[in-house]
Amino acid sequence: MTEQRVAVITGSTKGIGKAIARRLAHDDCDIVLNYRSDDESAQAALRDLEGLPGKAVAVKADVSVSDEASRLIDAAVRSFGRLDILVNNVGPFLTRPLVQTSDEEWRSILDSNLSSAFYCARAALRIMRKARTGSIINIGALNVEHSPVGVFEAPAYYVAKSGLIMLTRSLARSEGPFNIRVNAVNPGFIETEAYDHYHDEHKAAWAKMIPLGRLGTPEEVAEAVAFLASERARYVTGAVLHVHGGLWV
């Protein structure tokens, strides 16, 4: 009988992270949800996983802090005895031109989007290397490998997400000999709770830019993550999978 896989997903009580957790639970993974402060959303996310094949726990930890990230990984191993999948999903967005970005905002965005992935991956690799297996999937961003005009409006965010792609490729090289695969998913316009404050006309304008004619769903990003985490992708590492409806084709 195949052993149950264990997946840690950072920032996984809302939006894309929550959809990823649910999709991996459908694939018989035990799930470690992660959140920073919203206890109510964490409990709702746990309830959402009830009845699915995998078991689930929620761990409150600010993964932009090294010790907290290590505590999250330790909690996963303590809860389920192993770690097979790490999804570095957490990462808030900041729309602010560079000259208006404060030191605190710059550090916060880089720590949340990039340092968090470094801290979690470093802690996870100590477990995965011993087991000589594992999959790490980093959630990037729409504009990382292109240069549309919108990038200048959020430089801290896109610098961090660009670094995340370089981290993905670096780890894919260094961890391949340990049978650990490291990939990334770059979502496009994905309609999550964060999009609720945008007017319908803004969403309609974005949809017109997209060859498939609509915004994406968190579940569609989750499907890409599930593929990369699975044995179906056992020869895929160092890849960046774009889930944007053909926006930059």
CA distances from 110 to 57, 106, 117, 118, 184 (A): 27, 6, 10, 11, 17
What distance separates the 2 farthest-apart alpha carbons in the chain?
A: 57
Q: What one-character-per-residue DSSP string does 178-200 give?
A: GTEEEEEEEE-SB--GGGTTS-H
Burial class (CB in 10 A: 0-12, 13-18, 19+), 187: buried
Residue with tokens 């990003």: 221
Q: Which of 35, 157, 198, 235 is catalytic?
A: 157
Angle between helices 155-175 and 116-131 (to 10 degrees): 10
Whether residue 158 lies in the annotated active site:
no
Residue with tokens 């496009």: 188
Beta strand 240-243 with 29-35: parallel, antiparallel or unpaired?
Answer: unpaired
- As a dihedral over the C-alpha atoms of residue 86, residue 89, residue 91, residue 97, rounded to 10 degrees, the angle is 120
Burial class (CB in 10 A: 0-12, 13-18, 19+), 238: middle
Cβ count near 205 (within 10 Å): 11
> How far apart, in whole angstroms, are the C-alpha atoms of residue 194 and residue 190?
9
Active-site residue list: 157
